[in-house]
Every structure is written in C-alpha cells, then in structure tokens.
A and B are shown apart, each in its own frame.
Chain A
Amino acid sequence: MEAEKRHAGGRLAWTDHKFVGLAYCAASLFFMLVAFGLVLMMRWQLAWPGEPLPFFARIFDANHPSLPGGAMQPTFYNQLGALHGTIMIFLAVAPVLVGGFGSYLVPLMIGAPNLAFPRISLLGLLAFLVGGLIMLGSFFAEGGPAATGWTAYPPLSSIETTGQTLWLLGVSAVYLSSLALAINLIATIVQLRAPGMTFMRLPFFVWSELVTAFLLLLAFPPLAAAAVLQLTDRLRGSSFFLPDGLVISGQPLAVSGGGSALLWQHLFWFLAHPEVYVLILPALGMVAEIYANNTRKPLWGHRSMVYAAFFLGFMSMLVWAHHMFLTGMGSVMNAFFQTTTVIVSVPSIVIGTSLLLSLWGGSIRFTVPMLFALAFLPMFAIGGLTGMPLAFASTNIPLHDTYYVIGHFHYVVAPGTIFAIFAAIYFWFPKISGRRMNDLLGHLHFWPTLLFMNCIFMPMIFQGLAGVNRRMYDGGATYAHASEVLSLNRMATVGAFCLAVAQLPFIANFFYSLIAGKRVDQNPWEATTLEWAAPSPPLANGNFPDAIAVHRGPNEYSTGEGESDYVLQNAPGEATS
C-alpha cells in the first residue's frame, strides 16, 4: 500500500496520458478564460456603445488605433469577435473535451496503461500550445489579429492583415493536434481494451470519444486543405477564393481571379458543422456517466445511445450546407440539406430522451456534478430546439445572421457543453487529485451560473426574432428595428459580468480543494467504471496496481448483488450486461 501511494504521488512522465490530459485541461481552461475576457469587452461595447471601457480608459491614450481613450473601434470589435469564437471552439471547449478529459479518462476507463502512441500525444499537445500561442500572439501583429470572424470567409480574409495569416497558421497547428488526438484515441480504444472489455461494455463516454475522434479525423482535413489554399492566396498570389472583378475602395484588386469564395464556405463548413458534435458528444458522454452514477441505475438504452451516437457522427458530415442557404444554392440543394438536417436531429433526440428516461425511477443524488449535469439537459434542449427553425431554408433565411443564431448555438455550447465540463470537473476531481471539491462553494457556483447564463443568451433569442443583426458593433443602436429590444443588450451584458463573478467560487474551490480538500478513497462516488478501480490519483506508471480484467457492463447499479448498490466492472461474478 505504501509503495502504491508512492507511485500514485510519483512524477508523471511527459508522455503519460494523465500528464497530457491535465496539460490540455489547464491550457484549454486558460484559453477559455481569455476568450471569456474578450467577450466581456465586446458585451460592454454592445451595451454602452462608444463608452470607454472601464480600466482600459486608464491604459490607452487618445491616439491608440484600437481603443483610443479606452473606446472601442469597429475593427477591434471584429477582431475580438473573431478571436473569441476561434479560441472558444478550437482552443478551449474542443481541446478540454477531447484532449483533456479524453486523454485522461479513456485509457483509465478501458483498463489501459497509457494511450497507444504516447510520444505522438505529447507532440499533439505541443502543436496545440504552439497554435494557441500563435493565435494569441496575433494580437501583437501589425494591424492586429484576424477580424473576419471564426468563419474566416473570403474574400475579406484573403486580403486581410497579417493577423489572418497567423490565424491560418494557428488553425493548422490545431489541426495537427486534433489529428494526433484522433489517431491516438481510436487506436487506444480499439487496441488497448483490457481483457473482457468488449465494445458493448465500453462506457458511453468512451463511445462518445470514439465517435468524436472519427469526426476530427475525417472532417478536419478539408479545413486544413482550405487553410493551405488560403495561405497560398495570401502569400503566393493565387486566387482560389478570389473571383474575377473584385474592387476595393474603388480600385480593382490585382489578383488573377478565377476563384470562388463559396469554395471556402463548403470546405469550412464541412469541418465546422461536425465540430458542433465534437463539442457536444463528449459532453453527452460525461453527463451520461454522471446520470448513471447519481441515479444509481443503468443508463436507459445504452445500446441505442451508442448506435445513435454513430449515426449522429455519420449524418453530421452531410449537413454542412445548411449554413449556406443564403448563398443561393438552389431549391434542390436546399431541399437535400434541410432533409439531412432534420434527420440528424433524430439521433440527438434519441440520446437526449435516453438521458431523460435514465432519470425516471432513479434514486437521485443531488450532488454538485449532478446539478450541473441535470441543468445541462434543458439547456441543451433549448439549444437544440431553437435550431429547428434554422434547419429549413424558408425560416433560416430571415433568421440568418441575427442574434437568434448566436443564442441558439450558445445554448448548445455554453450552458450546454460548459455545464457538462463543470460537471465533469466536479465529478472526476477526486480521481485526479485524491481530494474532493467543497460542496457549499459548488452550490455557490452552480445556482448563479445557471441564472446568469440564461440572462445572457435568452435575450439574444428575442433580439434575433426581432431581426437584430449579429454583426453590428454598436449593438443595433443605429438600427430602427432594434429599438424595442435594445435594452436587452444591457441585460445580457450585466448577466455576462455577473457570470464572471459567479466563477470566483469555482476558482477558489478548485485551488483550495487541490491543497486542502477533503481526502477521499479511490471510489468516493461509489461508481462502476474502471477508472474508479485505480488509486486516486492513478499510479504514475500504468494506472492500475494489478492487471485488469473486465467481467461486466459499464453501469451495474442496484443489481441486488452484494451489500452495496454498485458493482465495479472488474469485479468477478455473473454479469447482468
């Protein structure tokens, strides 16, 4: 036991999946904080257009190009928007879900000693960090960072400042990181399962990571190809995305032409729509594990959830052009993509319904992770259901580029996915640190966060329905249509700043618990999956003290076997699944 403790507290190798996972988590959460800071500045501008930002007014003089006297300029607003979206998606949410929790938990959950390719996982981490540094470094480039949104649509992006080149290089580095992660996770799950761990005994979280890894593997390369083409447009004078006859400020643009801006949109959305499922599938997986544990019963329809996740992953690659209804693709193409979009909602509903039914008849423990997981479901549902009008060209076109779209996808990934991330942090913190986070601070974190998330994003739905365009840097102050819903800008902004304050208990709780949290044994939640059969924290070298063999399904709760209401997957005996 002493030796075990010594190992458990031992230094992790750089190539250990736990080190890589924790590094991804730390870096991603840092990037998330940065991206949240950027959007707070945007929200101030939207609520009080032209008013100097507090604090910044003292830093920037009246001649500063982006923030003269602390007042935001339109270009800088665009740059903040571009970097907020890019960082949140490519450097924060997706990496924490796949690189962080995926790298850390998947080997533990399948009884493996490490990822299949440890050195490649470290190289992927380094590529991710380089991509992040390039992206943040672009703030110091001449002309500032990219200002073309996270979608980087040409022709603007092909003629933008140096920051756009850095954006492309940063995204390319993130692509290499995703590739390393995807190959590693798939190979690990296929090859390194412990004896007895059949595919249907894999926890749903592992399935969700597997499907996500396939999405990254198949959907990201076209964006990498598009980035190569845009780089050659910018640096080598080609014009893949620049059509003939472009005029800027009255002057014809000196390019050979012959390209198409729509080509970028196709290549970009071929990744970017599946990316939504990259952001949501692991979140669903984490929530599923937490539901099973806190309802003390197996997931309802584990098998159908697995099939639904695979179908969802497949279909997600056939819906990309529903982002392009406004480009005039024609009624046949519109009909095809709105049909596939409606079809892709079916597996989402299967998974959501299974989760809802998993609660039915459960002996629910309202722990802090369970609170976040419970809140996830209605928030995700709002995000999903508000997506339905966007699936059809006839309703999509009037809603296109309005705040409705912003509200819709933020409901999916902010109170949706980010709630799942918080739930996962609270849930697996004892496994990672050997200590438990404080419950009172957890409640102080959860309730205000739930309230203020809705204060931010619900007004956007109403503003969007009123027709307010999402791209106006004054928040619609000069737009007659927006006058009746303009006050909602302030509500959302106050909500955003309150949300920032509401994160303080979490930050305090996290660091306090790391140092002085209550020590726990290896399975404080009385859970069934294999990571809870490892010491807390898991052994530095190989995770488990003994060879692991699996005898059961992932969620054997309340089976009536033995004195406790749970049976670990590696416990010998007669399996019920």
Chain B
Amino acid sequence: MSIPWSVDRRPDTGHYNARLGMGLFLVADAMFMGALYSSLVFLRTAGETWSSAMEQVPAAGHVAALLLAIAAAVVLSMARRQAGVGPILASVVLGIAAVAVMTYDQAQLSAPDAGTAFAMVYVLNGVVRLHLLGGVAAALWFLLLNGRMRRDEPQHFINRLECLGMLAYFNAFAWLFSVAFIHLL
C-alpha cells in the first residue's frame, strides 16, 4: 500500500512527507552545529588565553560563494519544471570544488600552539565538508539512478530536488555561521 502524501502536499499541513522530514532533519542538524558553536564559545570565553594564530584562518568568502552557488544551482534545476540535468551536474561539480578548496585551506593552517582553537576550526570545517559530500552523493544518486522517476514522475523528482536545495542552503548557512563564530570571537 502506498504512503499518502509522498508526492502531493497534504492540504491542512501544506507539506509533502519528504519536505517535512528534511525540515526536521535540518532542525536536528542545526542543534548539532549549534552545540559545536556553543562549545567554541564556551572554550573561548573560559580560556585564559586564545591563540593569535586564529588570524591565519581565512575569511573564506570564496567558499561561501561556492556554497551559495550550489544552492542556487539546485533551486534553478527545481525551478525548471523539466528538471534538466545541467544545474544538478553543476551542483555536483561546485560541491566537489568546495570540498577541495576547504581541504586546501585547512592544510595551509599551521601553528604548534593553536591547540584547541585550531582543533575546533578543523572540526567545523570537517563537519561542513561531510555535509557537502552528502549533498554531492545525493545529487549523483538523483542524476544516475532516478532517470525513470525524472521521466515518469516529474513532481516526485522535483520534490527530491527541493529537499536537496534545503540541504544546500543549510550547508551554506552552516559555513557562514562557522566563519563568523571563528572570526568574531
């Protein structure tokens, strides 16, 4: 028996199931990221000293631009009701590029006394990269394994893209918040 409201929106809630599910996942994810930010604040404010090497951490506007471009690409593919493959492919390429740039940026950081401060940068960087890789994997899955759905159930496919777009926007904001917390503290 099919699950109700898998594709169409339930009139009284205004959601289809996956949209609500992705929203809930992102709420949990926000709590996860929030705990890491809180940890950074706690350690920063409790510590008597804080490494000046934090100034080495790049402001990373280029990464933020890449992440926002990914989100835009996904939304663009969703907005085209034909759900063409071009923008999804672009989101995959941009995602891989963002991971590569973030890995390179992190590798440039070096300070023997930075200790906990740099460790938190590494953790935040790593968590955002994991999110990006998750998004890339999902986009590749949609591209390579959802061909029949794209053809026969376009609305279902567009729903999936919307959920991917929600994740992409979350990633961009998670990164922006990470950079802000690292630099403002």
Which chain A residues lie closer than 8 Å to B62 at the CB level?
none
**Alpha-carbon separation in the docked complex, A186 to B24 (Å):** 8
| Closest CB in chain B relative to A124 CB, distance in Å | 12
Query: Which of the listed residues B10, B13, B39, B43 has the most CB atoms from chain A within 10 Å of its own CB?
Result: B39
Residue A183 is within 8 A (CB to CB) of chain B in the complex: yes
Distance in angstroms between the alpha carbons of A258 and B53 in the assembled complex: 14
CB contact under 8 A between A541 and B20, given known A190-B13, A226-B35:
no
Q: Which residue of A lies closest to B116 (CB)?
A: A258
Cα–Cα distance between A260 and B120 once the two chains are bound (Å): 13
Q: Is the CB of A217 within 8 A of B28?
A: yes
CB distance from A80 to the nearest CB of B (A): 30
Query: Is the CB–CB distance between B5 and A240 below 8 Å?
Result: no
Contact A229 to B24, CB < 8 A, known contacts A114-B3, A192-B4, A221-B32: no
Interface residues of A in 180-206 (CB under 8 A from B): 182-184, 186-187, 190-192
* Contact A238–B116 (Cβ < 8 Å): yes
Contacts of A267 in B (CB 8 A): 35, 38-39
Mask for B29-66, Cβ within 8 A of A = 1, else 0? 10111111011001100110100000000000000000
| Given contact pairs A226-B35, A541-B1, A191 touches B17 in the complex (Cβ within 8 A) | yes
Instruction: State whether the Cβ of B177 lies closer than 8 Å to any Cβ in chain A.
Output: no
Interface of chain B residues 115 through 155 with chain A (CB within 8 A): 115-117, 119-120, 122-123, 127
Dominant secondary structure at the A interface: helix
Which residues on the B side are within 8 Å of A229 (C-beta)? 36, 39, 123
Of residues 101 through 117 on chain A, the ones whose CB sits less than 8 Å from some CB of chain B are 112-114, 116-117
Which of chain A's residues have a CB closer than 8 A to the CB of B39? 225-226, 229, 240, 263, 267
Query: Is B180 on the interface with A (CB-CB < 8 A)?
Result: no
Q: Which residues, 70 to 90 on B, are CB-close (under 8 Å) to A?
A: none
| Nearest Cβ on chain A to B95's Cβ, whole angstroms | 22
Q: Does B31 lie within 8 Å of A240, measured CB to CB?
A: no
Measured CA separation A229–B127 after assembly (Å)? 11
Contacts of B33 in A (CB 8 A): 225
A182 lies within 8 A of B28 (CB): yes
Contact with B along A79-118 (1 / 0, CB 8 A): 0000000000000000000000000000000001110111
> Chain B contact residues (Cβ within 8 angstroms of A): what range?
35 or more
**Contacting residue for A191 out of B2, B13, B29, B42, CB 8 A:** B13
CA–CA, A232 and B127, complex, Å: 12
| Count of A interface residues, CB-CB < 8 Å | 44
CA distance A117 to B24 in the complex (A): 13
In contact, A218 and B43 (Cβ under 8 angstroms): no
Does A384 make an interface contact (CB < 8 A)? no
Q: Contact: B43 with A187, CB < 8 Å?
A: no
Known: A191-B5, A267-B39. A260 touches B17 (CB 8 A): no
B15 within 8 A of A: yes
Interface status of B25 (Cβ within 8 A of chain A) = yes
> Which A residues are CB-close (under 8 A) to B38?
222, 266-267
Cα separation A257 to B116 with both chains bound (whole Å):
7
CB of A228 within 8 A of chain B? yes
Is B116 a contact partner of A218 (Cβ separation < 8 A)?
Answer: no
A577 at the interface (CB under 8 A from B): no
Residues of A with C-beta under 8 A to B127:
228
B27 within 8 A of A: yes
- Measured CB to CB, the closest approach of chain A to B10, in angstroms, equals 6
Known interface pairs A218-B27, A218-B31, A238-B116; A187-B46 also in contact (CB < 8 Å) = no
Q: Which residues of A contact B5 (CB under 8 A)?
A: 191-192
A257 / chain B contacts, CB cutoff of 8 Å:
115-116
Instruction: Indicate if A256 sits at the interface (CB-CB under 8 A).
Output: yes
Asked if residues B3 and A225 are in contact (CB atoms below 8 Å), the reply is: no
Contact check, A259 vs B43: say whether CB atoms are below 8 A apart: yes
Q: Mark interface residues in A262-304 (1 if CB within 8 Å of B CB, else 0).
A: 1100110010000000000000000000000000000000000
B20 interface neighbour in A114, A187, A220, A226, Cβ under 8 Å: A187
Which residues does chain A contribute within 8 Å of B25, judged by CB atoms? 179, 183
Contact at B115–A114, with CB atoms within 8 Å?
A: no
Given the known inter-chain contacts A240-B120, A258-B115, please indicate yes or no for A225 contacting B47, CB distance below 8 A: no
Chain B residue numbers with a CB within 8 Å of A362 are none
Query: How long is the Cα–Cα vector from A31 to B42 in the complex, in angstroms?
Result: 36
Question: A94 → chain B, closest Cβ, in Å?
Answer: 16
Q: Are B42 and A266 in contact (CB under 8 A)?
A: yes
Q: List residues of chain B with CB within 8 A of the CB of A226.
A: 35, 39
Q: A191-B13, A221-B29 are in contact. List 13 more A-B contacts (CB 8 A).
A: A113-B1, A179-B28, A182-B28, A183-B25, A187-B17, A190-B13, A224-B35, A225-B32, A225-B39, A226-B39, A228-B36, A229-B36, A238-B123
- List 22 A-B residue pairs with CB atoms under 8 Å apart, sorted by A's residue number: A113-B3, A114-B1, A117-B21, A183-B28, A190-B13, A191-B13, A217-B24, A217-B31, A218-B31, A221-B35, A224-B32, A224-B35, A225-B33, A226-B39, A228-B127, A229-B36, A238-B119, A239-B116, A240-B43, A240-B119, A256-B115, A541-B1
Q: Give B residues with C-beta under 8 Å from A.
A: 1-5, 10, 13, 15-18, 20-21, 24-25, 27-29, 31-36, 38-39, 42-43, 46-47, 49, 115-117, 119-120, 122-123, 127
